[in-house]
Structure 1
């Protein structure tokens, strides 16, 4: 190792996901020097380069998230009100939802999130406290005595490698890519019922390659009377004929399953009486919130059951297999668009909506698909404590009346246990859950002392990942990881010591409260 290719910081964050951004923000607030890498050219993970508007619980406007997440939401609204000609009604709405999506109370464009996250980090970039290295991936890690001493990253455009050294390393990649490089013990896929006794785990042996579907999202609008039909995708015939064994009909159709009942459901594209509108599901711009002429059309994100890809995993497989599944997932999304433009049944008896326009500019790519696939399930650390279904389930057969409390709570979250179809060709698992806490033990690896997770890679199971994976929870997890690494550096203690020493734990939890964390829920209602 030569000195000219080594860069040092207090904390090195591998991955600029949503959790990576908040880990950086919290560590910087505590006076630490931070380097953050990112595989794409947009930081922000699922909010930006994956084009997924926030999945949030119904109490989000009042409680159930950190202060900084609430500030982020406020700044999204400010972004639109300050820079866009919104209507007077929208301007006076303190809870403006730019897209009026029914999945989110603050659905918005990926570039809006990128703008706000960049602004939140800007003071530290400008002061030299934070270095952001986009289009870099980790390729190697050096370890000694159960600790990581350096991580080598490589520029995707330049091919050049750089060695990053730090006291703490945070894995904020979407798939947990640092874990195998650093020798951190981890699990993937579906656990067996025999492992942790979860009622909805798989029968028989564990299935490490059985993971939730991933999705290449895209944005589209609709210009009546115009023809924006894309070129016929190369794999269109395959996807037009494909039907999963658990699906009621062909995947390219207006039919799907109600996740929690598994009953067939017929969707509609645009609002129709008695049907669920896919357009309104993840609409990120409602043109009626803006003065006439601002937008030609409302804009929606296509992240639907029809373009979930479950024919193979992209984690712990050969590069050839990974590239094949990424390609086929892209072909699925493009085939869905082409089908909608040319063959989809319309209520008037006709076929196709050629006015559907792929909005490449919204996601910032040449092919019109998000820069990175929406990853629902990553490698998960083997941690000091693992959150299981029995901790949070609100199923009728569950003995719980609230989620099991964790004395080492570092935050809260709330979402149904929501698993999309998986690569094992298993259908939805969607069950009620209680609002839950995030235990510090789920952020601490069993052996490695100075690596922390900041995303979907904490100590959950295949089942509980289904509710810990959404935006507010990932934000909280990353923010807690940043504070924890900085606190450990300052106190010269390990994360395990913080959890096991009552004095340290109490002090650390008070630090989090002072920073606007909520560590417990004021109620026990399930979702």
Structure 2
């Protein structure tokens, strides 16, 4: 990708989806595995590789047709913080990324010398194209001979058998059953965890709950970031409070500092975008598009805040 990026990017890069290929090993439907992993995310793949290293049998069941989760879906700009703290299989991944970009053939649209996040002396590299992550995961799974089953979603009605407090097997919506001695829920949604009756918390916990200081609402500690800089009318019909509020607005306020709440983190898209014409596909208007869901953004522009809600990080 060129290092110069146009102000308004209008197309997404192609080619980062992972589909069934030679790396997918057949699963033994009659087997009882030492470990059954539900979710082919980065965490699920790492858990599978480590299980094999420990001499145990394992199967990975992915509800979609895509492996690698966010890592192979656009999130190639890693928020690393202190890189020295990253070890284990995670660091092995970033070391594999570095080895890939050590090859001159890896640089299609620019040279390694032109990309400031490629440092020849480093043992690891922290930014990458999703297809590179996909290739690494595919190679890991193939080398470890991990059985991978795609497009098998857990039956969330009664697709689980539990005996003496332990999961014995799970069943997918297609009727396939997978048995194991241990189960790992490596999905983002936690459906297996919930179906197994594991307790969980939604939202922020209060400081009081565990005698902590950095939990809960932090509105008074973060007054400069992620805020509206201009007054924006929140009502469906501007100035008319009886018309209700726009999508994305809640009327009960964030709560007091340190208090718990019921909210979850906002969702966003991690997209690979390019100004290379042959590496783009068009953004198309999706079915069910509702302009009202973006009215708040338009009003923020009209109020004079012209910041674009796009934070591009350059990939190789």
- Tell whether the structures are fold-level matches, with TM greater than 0.5: yes
In structure 2, the residue matched to 1:45 is 69
Q: What is the alpha-carbon distance in structure 2 between the residues aligned to residue 222 and residue 131 of structure 1?
A: 38
- Residue 240 of structure 1: CA displacement? 4.0
In structure 2, the residue matched to 1:57 is 80
In structure 2, the residue matched to 1:33 is 57
SS at match of 1:68: helix
- Residue 22 of structure 1: CA displacement? 0.8
Contact 2:102–2:120 under 8 Å retained in 1: no
User: Which has the larger displacement, 51-60 or 6-15?
Assistant: 51-60
| Structure 2 counterparts to residues 251-400 of structure 1, below 5 A | 255=306, 266=307, 278-279=311-312, 282-285=313-316
Q: What is the alpha-carbon distance in structure 2 between the residues aligned to residue 106 and residue 220 of structure 1?
A: 18
- Residue 194 of structure 1: CA displacement? 4.0
1:132 paired to 2:148? yes
Q: What is the alpha-carbon distance in structure 2 between the residues aligned to residue 253 and residue 136 of structure 1?
A: 48
The structure 2 residue matched to 1:216, chosen from 250, 253, 269, is: 269
Q: What is the alpha-carbon distance in structure 2 between the residues aligned to residue 79 and residue 252 of structure 1?
A: 46
Q: What is the alpha-carbon distance in structure 2 between the residues aligned to residue 34 and residue 252 of structure 1?
A: 55
Q: What is the alpha-carbon distance in structure 2 between the residues aligned to residue 253 and residue 12 of structure 1?
A: 53
Contact 2:171–2:177 under 8 Å retained in 1: yes
| Structure 2 counterparts to residues 97-496 of structure 1, below 5 A | 106-125=126-145, 130-139=146-155, 140-154=159-173, 160-199=174-213, 200-202=215-217, 206-208=260-262, 210-222=263-275, 230-232=283-285, 235=289, 237-243=291-297, 249-250=300-301, 255=306, 266=307, 278-279=311-312, 282-285=313-316
SS at match of 2:136: helix
Normalised to the residue count of structure 2, the TM-score between the two structures is 0.63
Contact 1:142–1:150 under 8 Å retained in 2: yes
Unpaired stretches in structure 2, ≥5 consecutive residues: 1-27, 218-254
In structure 2, the residue matched to 1:413 is none
1:84 paired to 2:120? no
In structure 1, the residue matched to 2:46 is 22
CA offset digits 1:326-362 (Å, max 9, x no partner): xxxxxxxxxxxxxxxxxxxxxxxxxxxxxxxxxxxxx
Contact 1:14–1:171 under 8 Å retained in 2: yes
- Residue 31 of structure 1: CA displacement? 0.6
- Residue 117 of structure 1: CA displacement? 1.3
Contact 1:240–1:251 under 8 Å retained in 2: no
Q: What is the alpha-carbon distance in structure 2 between the residues aligned to residue 252 and residue 69 of structure 1?
A: 44
Normalised to the residue count of structure 1, the TM-score between the two structures is 0.40
CA offset digits 1:145-175 (Å, max 9, x no partner): 1111111123xxxxx2211111110110111
RMSD: 3.5
Q: What is the alpha-carbon distance in structure 2 between the residues aligned to residue 252 and residue 5 of structure 1?
A: 60
Q: What is the alpha-carbon distance in structure 2 between the residues aligned to residue 18 and residue 161 of structure 1?
A: 26
Contact 2:160–2:170 under 8 Å retained in 1: yes
Bigger relative contact order, structure 1 or 2 (CA pairs below 8 A, ≥6 apart): 2
Contact 2:36–2:179 under 8 Å retained in 1: yes
Q: What is the alpha-carbon distance in structure 1 between the residues aligned to residue 123 and residue 167 of structure 2?
A: 45
Contact 2:205–2:261 under 8 Å retained in 1: yes
CA offset digits 1:402-438 (Å, max 9, x no partner): xxxxxxxxxxxxxxxxxxxxxxxxxxxxxxxxxxxxx
